[in-house]
Amino acid sequence: MMMTERGMVAPAAGGSVLAQFDDILAAAAPELAGHVQAVAFDADTGRLDVAPAYGTQLRWSAPKLITATNERVQGANVRSVGVLAPAPVKAGPAPAAGRTRPRPCGRE
């Protein structure tokens, strides 16, 4: 009650959503466990942002994920799941650590 009076319910729920995300995901969509990470939760809008490896499959599982989150985290009130694009991979030169240089041939 003290948290509610001081406006602390939303941040506590948001922290719980992120802290418990692995368990929530395992209950809602176990096939995605280890492939999805919760990035942010906005308690004002009820939006849970996740970074996936399997974006389409996560979008299909969003209703189950929302239900599981709201059942497991009291006061979370998640209403939508935002599927974020995976971080881009930077292109660059291949590392040379594993390469060996050819040895010069000696002349006789």
Distance of alpha carbon 47 from alpha carbon 104, whole angstroms: 62
Structural domain of 16:
2-83
Examine residue 22 and state whether it is found in any structural domain, yes or no.
Answer: yes
Examine residue 30 and state whether it is found in any structural domain, yes or no.
Answer: yes
Q: What is the pLDDT of residues 6-62, one digit of tens each?
A: 454 444 555 688 999 999 988 888 888 888 888 888 988 998 888 876 677 778 888
Examine residue 66 and state whether it is found in any structural domain, yes or no.
Answer: yes
Model-wide pTM > 0.85: no
Examine residue 108 and state whether it is found in any structural domain, yes or no.
Answer: no
Examine residue 31 and state whether it is found in any structural domain, yes or no.
Answer: yes
Examine residue 27 and state whether it is found in any structural domain, yes or no.
Answer: yes
pLDDT at 66: 92
Q: What is the DSSP string of 56-105?
A: HHHHHHHHHHHHHHHHHSTT----EEEEPPPPPPPP-PPP-TT--PPPPP
Measuring CA to CA, how many Å separate 92 from each of 18, 89, 107?
33, 9, 38
Examine residue 78 and state whether it is found in any structural domain, yes or no.
Answer: yes
Examine residue 94 and state whether it is found in any structural domain, yes or no.
Answer: no
Give me the number of domains the chain comprises: 1
Q: Which residue would you say has higher pLDDT here, 10 or 75?
A: 75
Distance of alpha carbon 11 from alpha carbon 9, whole angstroms: 6
